[in-house]
Structure 1
């Protein structure tokens, strides 16, 4: 996904809007305008159901493993306000630049991405950008000093989804054990 030209690879920005059925053309427009002035930066945009961008190599959807590889190679990661994408970016060692979907632009059904992203932004867990000016300034800042957007990657950390599944399994086991105990020890 990220092309290398000569000895030093070009800066590489990965942007992912997720898989929601709503369009996120506002972010597509912002990235296109920003990229038009910066031909030396490669932008890979996963654009979902949004309009097809005028960015080389953009894709509507990519598989999970391909997205993980792209995150590992990226200089900066831009994400919609979806918890899964934000978590994956952080696990890959990035402080994600987050542009939450806005329901007033028909980008989502409610404002949960805005509320979630604002909370993470206040905690310093993401760089929140709710306007085009904020996004463009943050991208320029990140390219000028990428180290400000790097976290310590921890690929060995357990996947929180696996932990959640294990907890649900334990709850089900506990409920079944209670039910069996209430029935007097099992089936007859």
Structure 2
């Protein structure tokens, strides 16, 4: 998954294509689903520019391994689905992003053991080969019952709005939106 950023991430798509082409002779049963965003469409059967939220959730549920860019939301979703994601952060020096926040964030998570950082093609190949040989190497305890943090945030915002509306209607209360 390369996310929904406007910048292309052809480097990751190309690395995945090369790895998959090399695997064909050894393990043709490896199915690679690629959400490529605005990047060049890979020459793979299961590739789509974007996946609807429910499709993305299903893909992560069914996946043995998740490879993604260094977007915090994508990493969080992968971990929520029980994956230690293999993360290739976007590089702004290659026009893959506007700044280096993905690199900094991914390196910090990699150092904490929360992702498998792959900043080179050889790192990615090694991680994928290990994951295909033993998918448990990148499995976490899935917690599908854990509440989605977006729901908690929306609930908190809803409470704030309700409090503002309620207090604005109190007698003698000056309206704040004049």
| TM-score computed with the length of structure 2 as normaliser | 0.88
Q: For 2:32, what is the secondary structure of its paired residue?
A: strand
- 1:23 and 2:8 aligned: yes
Q: Distance in 2 between matches of 1:123 and 1:171?
A: 35
| Aligned match of 2:158 | 169
| Aligned match of 2:32 | 43
Unaligned runs of 5+ in 1: 1-15
The residue correspondences of 1:7-156 to structure 2 (distance < 5 A) are 16-39=1-24, 40=28, 41-156=30-145
Q: Please, what is the CA RMSD of the aligned residues?
A: 1.8
Deviation of 1:115 (Å): 1.2
Unaligned runs of 5+ in 2: none
Q: Distance in 1 between matches of 2:68 and 2:160?
A: 33
| TM-score computed with the length of structure 1 as normaliser | 0.84
Q: For 2:34, what is the secondary structure of its paired residue?
A: strand
Q: Distance in 2 between matches of 1:131 and 1:92?
A: 25
Q: Distance in 2 between matches of 1:184 and 1:98?
A: 56
Q: Confirm or deny: 8 A CA contact 2:35 2:51 kept in the other structure.
A: yes
Deviation of 1:171 (Å): 3.5
Change (3 A) 1:123 1:176: farther
Q: For 1:58, what is the secondary structure of its paired residue?
A: strand
Q: Distance in 2 between matches of 1:119 and 1:153?
A: 22
Q: For 1:45, what is the secondary structure of its paired residue?
A: strand
Q: Confirm or deny: 8 A CA contact 2:167 2:173 kept in the other structure.
A: no
